[in-house]
Chain A
Amino acid sequence: MADTDLKTPLYQVHKAHGAKMVPFGGWLMPVSYSSVLQEHQTVRTACGLFDVSHMGELQVKGPAATTFLQRVSVNDVTRLGDGEGQYTAILHPDGGMIDDLIIYRIQADHYFVCVNASNTDKDYQWLLQQASAMAGVKVTNESTQWCQLAVQGPKSTLAVEALLSPVTKAQLSGLNYMQIMPVKLFGVDGLIARTGYTGEHGYELYVPNAIAERTWHGLMETHSQTGIQPIGLGARDTLRLEACYLLYGNDMNDGVSPLEAGISWAVRLEKGDFVGREALVAQKAAGLNRSQFALRMNEDGIPRHGMEVFKDGDLVGVINSGSVLPTLGGAGGLALLNPKKVAVGDVVEVDVRGKRKLARLVPKPLYKAKVKS
């Protein structure tokens, strides 16, 4: 553990729950409280509570906020109405991904942006630099002021309702997937988004640090009705992998384009110019040499980041993320492979520490998300 690792306002709460703490993205975070497999199962069947305060929060404000975000991100910001969010990415001019993120429109001149912990400073500096060339937009980094709690699982609505007044409870029932609403919690302004990183129905609560503990305990008090349990980053990773949600640093990085990473559905080439667009158009015209595939192992052995993948003896790419798949059984993962050499349905070989193990390329996602139910 580096002395510089930041602690969230819930650090002592995690210690009290018996969490194993690990450094992640510059923060000291709970990796597991009891068992990764049990925690995974809790989220799939009941309700899990995650402290994801390491995630970064940026605010983009001003009359040119929409024009600015339209220029720096790949998705079409003008499709958003007030209280709506979208998954998107910001790119280097060469098309490599600086980060993947969610942009929420609070109102026409105010956007709330959630970014990856380890990329917060990089994103913020990049956006500041881009904004400096444009009048009418101001970017601020509020990451250390916000706690983010994810409440995920089929019982998550019941847990979140416990924090709300009758009026806001009614509003919550009208909140659709990828929407966000302002909320008073313990008399303090926060935000509730219907989003997540698990593939289950759920919410992400943004609360000021001062009420983080009260919010945590208020949610945990619903345990007898919801079965809510604290969940660490270990299960967060197996949950997101089954749903085939990407993890920056594993599945993509500054040298991987969103087309290669497998999120072309979020890229709106037709919306007009944006940073990195030209590179993407050229890449598309030339045909991709790398593309994100999902795979499941046919034999024992667990794919891990960096393992090489072969087809008929030829190296065709590498594993980006791999793990056991607790809900589906067996093991599997995501791999960046050459689509000119492999296709979904193919059997490939993963080099697991010197032994070739058979795997099959399967359609994404591995686990169909229940976020809209």
Chain B
Amino acid sequence: MEFPNGLKYTKDHEWIDTAAAPVTIGVTAYAVDQLGDIVHVELPKVGDSFEAGAAFGTIESTKTVSDLYMPVAGKVVEINKAAVANPQSLQDDPYKLGWLVKVEVKSKIDASTLLDAKAYQHFVAEA
């Protein structure tokens, strides 16, 4: 399972790319593997604002529904409509094609709440 080095991760199994503004957010390969076939993705509207840790959407597999949680506080400036139309893309490519939302970060990101690739890999290995 791949966890790209340049990204940060949460214990709720989201990834965030903070290299550029706005930041890009998606779910990890581990989350996708745990869910199985992803059949439905529900995302917020552009312009919606969320606190860090707030549920901003849902991801559904054939069997279960999971909430998506914001790794950072901010305003949604773009959503991946192609991923909504084709949820399979999250399975095929969770880090590129399968991104979910782009967010304008409200304040400075609290880095202590995020894991790097190595720490996240360690976290899921113990899960």
Contacts from A to B (Cβ < 8 Å): 20, 31-32, 35-37, 234, 237-238, 300-302, 304, 323-324, 331, 353
Contact = CB atoms under 8 A, between A and B. Distances in A.
B82 to A, nearest CB: 15
5 contacts: A36-B36, A36-B62, A302-B60, A304-B65, A324-B40
A360 B65 CA distance: 22
Interface in B47-65: 58, 60-63, 65
In order of increasing CB-CB distance, the 6 nearest A-B pairs are: A36-B62, A324-B39, A37-B37, A36-B37, A35-B37, A302-B40
A237 B37 CA distance: 14
A224 B21 CA distance: 53
A331 B87 CA distance: 14
Nearest to A35: B37
Nearest to A353: B58
Contacts of A238: 62
Contacts of B60: 302
Given A234-B63, A304-B65, A35 B58 contact: no
Contacts of A234: 36, 62-63
Give the bracket for the number of chain B residues in contact with chain A. 10 to 19
B27 to A, nearest CB: 17
A35 B60 CA distance: 14
A323 B37 CA distance: 12
Interface string B50-89: 0000000010111101000000000000000000000000
A177 B122 CA distance: 53
Contact of B36 (A35, A237, A302): A35
Contacts of A32: 36
Contact of B63 (A36, A300, A331, A353): A36
Interface of B: 36-37, 39-40, 42, 58, 60-63, 65
A152 to B, nearest CB: 18
Nearest to A37: B37
A35 B36 CA distance: 7
Contact of A37 (B40, B62, B65): B62
A300 B37 contact: no
A300 to B, nearest CB: 7
Contacts of A237: 63
A238 B37 CA distance: 12
A234 B40 CA distance: 16
A26 B58 CA distance: 29
B36 A300 contact: no
A344 to B, nearest CB: 26
B86 to A, nearest CB: 13
A238 B40 CA distance: 15
A55 to B, nearest CB: 20
Contacts of B37: 35-37
Nearest to B55: A353
A165 to B, nearest CB: 39
A36 B62 CA distance: 7
A301 B40 CA distance: 7
Contacts of B65: 302, 304, 353
A300 B62 contact: no
A331 B60 CA distance: 12
Contacts of A36: 36-37, 61-63
Contacts of A35: 36-37
A35 B61 CA distance: 10
A32 B64 CA distance: 13
Contacts of B62: 36-37, 234, 238, 323-324
B63 A31 contact: yes
Contacts of A31: 36, 63
A323 B36 CA distance: 14
